[in-house]
């Protein structure tokens, strides 16, 4: 019997898509590279972990409750988020990480023939979800390491449905000021969705950095993403959300998968929001100290550095980033090679604790030619 050709079932845009290969679990990597300890500086995780109240929720989760489905729309969490942000809880959709809400938005607005506009060197998931959904992604080169508003506007055509702006940008740390974001929203007009991904907004301490949620009243086509993975240290639990105008959120809600957000995540996120122990202040102080330290050390080593907002910076190396990754892994340092962000020879390093930063500097000194 001949094998049926199942590949013919698959749309060309899926067949042609390169799957993302996740890295192996830490113990496997440690065996592979022969290191006794591994500093994870590749995913912008918070080395302080979740706020104490969220840790308590995780510790005390009643095991029999594992049998019971969670709230399908993160009811209590949205109540609290609504109060914190001064919006109606109906304007919020919670997802299995901000990654999932990206897919909600693209599914809600795009069909084949449509396009999205974003940058070439930014969080890649906007582009990936579009492309494997058969939607064109127009990736506009950064200008001066930031999103190029004029070029993004010029890329808009009648089939452009969504513009994605990462503010501050991962990986360059650049940001649009309030004035610049307003100017962009005004120029786009109300006929397309503008997504502002604020995954790292809690790290930014600049006066002129805009809170996208506060602009929702003026711009009903604006959608803001937030996550609990970075500042709130809940990456393992997978929880993030979007906020938008009621009519826009009512549309996006149709493409949401109910029950994709588990109960421990919902309760831990709620406790993280209510934390009053200074977790954000402590994390910001740690990031600030590490940014100054690491930037200084890299400069002494003669490595060009791009360090803006966010809990990460980029260093340019005199060798390939993928080779540097393997060499640093042998020293117990896991960084993010930037070839996947279209920045070969660059690595992104998470700003973590002093011990990790010193280990990273020592490893870099060892591997540099």
Q: Which is nearer to ligand PLP, 219 or 228 (CB)?
A: 228
As a whole number of angstroms, the distance between CA 117 and CA 126 comes to: 9
Cα dihedral value 162, 163, 169, 174, nearest 10: -160
Residues 6 or more apart whose CB falls under 8 angstroms from that of 171 comprise 121, 122, 312, 314, 336, 338, 341, 343, 348
- Residue 199 interacts with ligand PLP (CB under 6 A)? yes
Q: Which residue has the tokens 């100054």?
A: 292
As a whole number of angstroms, the distance between CA 270 and CA 9 comes to: 43
- Residue 197 interacts with ligand PLP (CB under 6 A)? yes
Q: What character string, x for contact with ligand PLP (CB under 6 A) and - otherwise, covers 166-185?
A: x---x---------------
- Phi, psi for 210 (deg, rounded to 5): -85, 145
User: Which residues, in sequence order, are bridge partners of residue 226?
Assistant: 241
Q: Are the C-beta atoms of residues 265 and 238 closer than 8 Å to each other?
A: yes
Q: Are the C-beta atoms of residues 230 and 200 closer than 8 Å to each other?
A: yes
Q: Is the dihedral of CA 22, 28, 32, 34 positive or negative?
A: positive
Q: Collapsing DSSP states into helix, strand and coil, what is residue 155? A: helix
Q: Which is nearer to ligand PLP, 101 or 286 (CB)?
A: 101
Using CB under 6 A, pick the residue from 235, 287, 294, 298 that binds ligand PLP: 235
Q: Are the C-beta atoms of residues 201 and 232 closer than 8 Å to each other?
A: no
Q: Which is nearer to ligand PLP, 312 or 325 (CB)?
A: 312
As a whole number of angstroms, the distance between CA 192 and CA 176 comes to: 19
Q: Which is nearer to ligand PLP, 123 or 341 (CB)?
A: 123
Using CB under 6 A, pick the residue from 42, 118, 229, 283 that binds ligand PLP: 229
- Residue 77 interacts with ligand PLP (CB under 6 A)? no
Q: Which is nearer to ligand PLP, 166 or 333 (CB)?
A: 166
Residues 6 or more apart whose CB falls under 8 angstroms from that of 254 comprise 108
The region of 18-26, 61-69, 91-99, 295-303 touching ligand PLP under the rule CB under 6 A is 91-99
- Residue 97 interacts with ligand PLP (CB under 6 A)? yes
- Residue 129 interacts with ligand PLP (CB under 6 A)? no
Q: Which residue has the tokens 């500097």?
A: 361
The region of 176-184, 223-231, 246-254, 292-300 touching ligand PLP under the rule CB under 6 A is 223-231
Give the residue closest to ligand PLP by C-beta: 97
- Residue 240 interacts with ligand PLP (CB under 6 A)? yes
Question: Minimum distance from CB of 240 to ligand PLP (Å)?
Answer: 3
As a whole number of angstroms, the distance between CA 176 and CA 167 comes to: 7
- Residue 99 interacts with ligand PLP (CB under 6 A)? yes
- Residue 269 interacts with ligand PLP (CB under 6 A)? no
Q: What character string, x for contact with ligand PLP (CB under 6 A) and - otherwise, covers 140-169?
A: --------------------------x---
Tokens found for residue 217: 């009243």
Please tell me the count of residues contacting ligand PLP according to CB under 6 A.
13
- Residue 50 interacts with ligand PLP (CB under 6 A)? no
Question: Minimum distance from CB of 198 to ligand PLP (Å)?
Answer: 9
Q: Which is nearer to ligand PLP, 240 or 332 (CB)?
A: 240
| Helices and strands counted in the chain (H then E) | 13, 13
Question: Minimum distance from CB of 268 to ligand PLP (Å)?
Answer: 13
Q: Which is nearer to ligand PLP, 308 or 332 (CB)?
A: 308
Q: Are the C-beta atoms of residues 185 and 212 closer than 8 Å to each other?
A: no
Q: Which is nearer to ligand PLP, 226 or 363 (CB)?
A: 226
Q: Which residue has the tokens 């299995």?
A: 96
Task: Give me the residues that bind ligand PLP (CB under 6 A), please.
Answer: 97-99, 123, 166, 170, 197, 199, 227, 229-230, 235, 240
């Amino acid at each position: 019997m001949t094998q049926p050709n199942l590949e013919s079932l698959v749309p060309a845009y899926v067949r042609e898509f390169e799957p993302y290969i996740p890295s192996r679990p830490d113990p496997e990597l440690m065996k592979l590279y022969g290191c006794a300890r591994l500093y994870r500086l590749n995913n912008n995780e918070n080395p302080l972990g979740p706020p104490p109240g969220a840790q308590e929720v995780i510790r005390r989760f009643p095991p029999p409750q594992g049998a019971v489905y969670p709230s399908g729309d993160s009811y209590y969490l949205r109540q609290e988020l609504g109060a914190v942000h001064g919006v109606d809880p109906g304007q919020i959709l919670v997802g299995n990480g901000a990654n999932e809400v990206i897919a909600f938005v693209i599914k809600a607005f795009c069909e084949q023939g449509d396009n999205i506009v974003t940058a070439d060197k930014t969080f890649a998931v906007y582009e990936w979800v579009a492309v494997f959904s058969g939607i064109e992604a127009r990736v506009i080169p950064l200008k001066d390491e930031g999103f190029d508003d004029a070029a993004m506007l010029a890329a808009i055509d009648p089939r452009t449905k969504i513009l994605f702006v990462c503010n501050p940008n991962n990986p360059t740390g650049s940001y649009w000021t309030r004035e610049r974001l307003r100017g962009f929203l005004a120029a786009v007009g109300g006929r397309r969705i503008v997504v502002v991904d604020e995954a790292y907004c809690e790290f930014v301490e600049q006066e002129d950095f805009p809170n996208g949620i506060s602009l929702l009243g003026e711009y009903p086509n604006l959608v803001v993403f937030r996550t609990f993975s970075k500042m709130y240290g809940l990456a393992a639990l997978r929880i993030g959300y979007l906020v938008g105008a009621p009519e826009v959120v009512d549309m996006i809600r149709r493409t949401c998968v109910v029950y994709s957000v588990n109960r421990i995540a919902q309760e831990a996120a709620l406790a993280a929001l209510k934390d009053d122990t200074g977790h954000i202040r402590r994390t910001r102080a740690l990031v600030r100290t590490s940014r100054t330290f690491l930037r200084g050390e890299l400069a002494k080593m003669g490595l060009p550095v791009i360090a803006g907002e966010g809990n990460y910076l980029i260093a340019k190396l005199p060798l390939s980033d993928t080779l540097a990754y393997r060499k640093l892994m042998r020293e117990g340092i896991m960084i993010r090679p930037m070839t996947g962000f279209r920045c070969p020879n660059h690595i992104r390093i998470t700003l973590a604790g002093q011990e990790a930063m010193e280990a990273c500097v020592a490893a870099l000194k060892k591997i540099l030619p």
